[in-house]
Structure 1
Amino acid sequence: MDQAIVVFGDLNLDTSVSIGQFPLHVGDTLFSFDGISDEIGGAAANVAVGLTALGHQVHFGSVVGQDRMAELVLQLAQAKGLATNCIRPDWPITSRTVVLIDADGNRQCINDPKAVHRYRYPEATLPALFAQSQWVYCSTQNWCRYVAQAAREAGRKVIVDVQALIDIDEYHRDFLQAASIVILSTEQLAMHSHEFMRRLWQQFEVEIVVATHGNHGATLGVRTTNIIEYEPAFELGPVVDKTGAGDAFCAGFIAGLASDLAPRQALSFGQYVAARKIAVKGATNGFPERTHVWQALAQLPK
């Protein structure tokens, strides 16, 4: 049974710029013909769009500014199928990101999060939002910190994507304490992913941990079975843009779990979605249809 999902967190205007290669050549003017585009972005927004594309109902809680850029962001969000009734225009200026993308799909993001450290989403509105689903994805921006804990106290399964974590630190501790499911990148991890998973199980009530290894695949740990297993990544063709690859994986993995897949099946689902998404420019573009994912995974060797 497909389940609705609450997604809570950041929403930006992403301006993507295609360049030849890194490091960027310094000069007065660089030309990028048909290489500059605007889309919505931010980890939570990327996950929300991905889940919507995969056929799930999404309730998206976020915040924008009171400027003209916010009008564009809301229009782009609606064009992606997102409901905007829980996106609050509480900031003076909408946050934005510039993404430089080279010919191999590598990217560098320059993010201006605006009022992110001073904001608090109104707590009185949270119960109605949480009532929409048993699943709550929460990004790890500072203003989302208490939202993750409130979702856990409301009895929801909280999913946090801590991405480039080095070790258990004070900034992320609140999110880890609230989480039922943790997704992280091993890019900067200070220890082997297996060791880190076991440390999370010792210190927190986390049920499932997924450690992604970029184009090398991902490792899944399930607390109830004490099983940790690795799966290689899918190689589905040329890489155009790696922006949002981790968010695409999150969307696919969550979509799998919310469709009653076992964690191991959801891992494959998420990896396939991410591999398809990076063949298209833009963090919120390139998500495959759910039926396509089912068909592709059904054809894999048993």
Structure 2
Amino acid sequence: MSEKSGIVILGIFAADTAYKAKRLPHIAETLMGSGFTLGPGGKGSNQAIAAAKAGGKVTFISRVGNDAFGAMALAAYAEAGVKANVMKMEGVSTGAAFIFVDEVSGDNAIIVVPGAAGLIGVEDVEANRAAIESAAIFMTQLEQPLEAALHALSIAKRAGGITIFNPAPAGAIPDSIYGLCDFIVPNEVEAAELVGHAIETDEQARAAAHTLVDRGAKAAVITLGARGAFYHTAGQSEFVPAFSAGNVIDTTGAGDAFVGGFATAISEGRAPTEAVRFGCATAAIAVTRPGTAPAMPSRAEITALLGS
């Protein structure tokens, strides 16, 4: 087999409809908002665009509908330099997401409807087996069906690639998935769901990461928002502080920015803790801008913030 290269990502595209307001409305209440944006989103799609803009060679596997949102997805990949192994479906709408953004803090709440990408299955993975087997990095999440994610992780692992699993959105996962993960990368909410206890302190983050590695993951990276991230393997533990790149405007794509930047750094052979720093810098820039995919920074911006 030829030398492995590039990053392959399995995930969904969803058109992000983001509404900025002082709070969420109550049932039967109409609330005036202060801003609206429409743009490309979906965790896997955001991560693909983040990784490509950060300098990675990226292939994205997904499904979209033959509609305006599907066209938006393909245009976004063309602009970012992502190779789109994306099936276009008739009679099924492209995924979409409702995003509430707090106009003061920039924090968010999200409802996602996967649409066509909710039909991603083992057959999509098999159709892209060659790409997965030849990739240096394979990455996936949980917005598409779990069966497809498990099958793809298994193929990548058997082929000797590096696997990155972002267990998002939070939910139950089978124990068998941990052994397929070179890196499991949850945020603090997702990690708490997996391990069954709150993650509000550094010690709780350390304990959670230890649990994830004990279950079979080679390494755990727990992202902690403004506190940075915690990296843990059987032989190393390290907190990596967050960067500041300006005022926080919108945290919606922060996790995807981190994971995309992290994957690019790992694909370049950087040490895992350096890759975590690279991911933190990527996320720090993204949160200073509105939106998700459009907020992802360029390689030059990330390098400037890192100072190297």
Which residue matches 1:157? Answer: 162
CA 1:201–1:107 in 2, change beyond 3 Å: closer, same or farther? closer
CA 1:127–1:276 in 2, change beyond 3 Å: closer, same or farther? same
Deviations 1:126-169 (A, max 9, x none): 22221442210112232433222222222221110114657xx4
Contact 2:188 2:224 in 1 (8 A): yes
Q: Return the offset for 1:279.
A: 0.2
Q: Return the offset for 1:289.
A: 2.7
Q: Matches of 2:227 and 2:70 in 1, distance apart?
A: 37
TM-score (normalizing by structure 1): 0.85
Q: Return the offset for 1:67.
A: 3.4
Deviations 1:185-227 (A, max 9, x none): 12251342322333333331x222101111111111133xx11
Which residue matches 1:200? Answer: 212
Which residue matches 1:231? Answer: 240
Which residue matches 1:58? Answer: 58
Q: C-alpha root-mean-square deviation of aligned residues, in Å? A: 2.5
Letter of the 2:160 counterpart: G
Which residue matches 2:12? Answer: 10
CA 1:121–1:74 in 2, change beyond 3 Å: closer, same or farther? farther
TM-score (normalizing by structure 2): 0.84
Q: Matches of 1:197 and 1:29 in 2, distance apart?
A: 40
Which residue matches 1:177? Answer: 179
Q: Matches of 2:299 and 2:119 in 1, distance apart?
A: 38
Which residue matches 2:37? Answer: 37
Answer with 146-155 or 47-56: which moved more: 146-155
Q: Matches of 2:119 and 2:261 in 1, distance apart?
A: 32
Q: Are 2:156 and 1:147 aligned?
A: no
Contact 1:64 1:93 in 2 (8 A): yes
Contact 1:256 1:269 in 2 (8 A): yes
Letter of the 1:210 counterpart: V
SS in 1 for 2:128: helix
More helix by share: 2
Deviations 1:244-292 (A, max 9, x none): 1011111111122112211111111111110111000011123333233
Q: Are 2:95 and 1:83 aligned?
A: no
Q: Matches of 1:172 and 1:116 in 2, distance apart?
A: 21
Contact 1:3 1:259 in 2 (8 A): no
Letter of the 1:120 counterpart: G
Contact 1:64 1:90 in 2 (8 A): yes
Which residue matches 2:275? Answer: 266
Alignment of 1:206-217 (within 5 A): 206-217=217-228
Contact 2:220 2:232 in 1 (8 A): yes
Q: Return the offset for 1:115.
A: 5.3
CA 1:194–1:135 in 2, change beyond 3 Å: closer, same or farther? same
Q: Matches of 1:165 and 1:75 in 2, distance apart?
A: 29
Q: Matches of 2:166 and 2:77 in 1, distance apart?
A: 21
CA 1:217–1:135 in 2, change beyond 3 Å: closer, same or farther? same
Contact 1:13 1:40 in 2 (8 A): yes
Contact 1:165 1:185 in 2 (8 A): no
Alignment of 1:67-78 (within 5 A): 67-78=67-78
Flag structure 1 segments of 5+ consecutive residues without an equivalent.
none
Answer with 6-15 or 228-237: which moved more: 228-237
Flag structure 2 segments of 5+ consecutive residues without an equivalent.
198-203
The percent identity for this pair of structures is 23
Letter of the 1:129 counterpart: A
The number of residue pairs the alignment matches comes to 288
Q: Return the offset for 1:124.
A: 3.4
Contact 2:245 2:305 in 1 (8 A): no
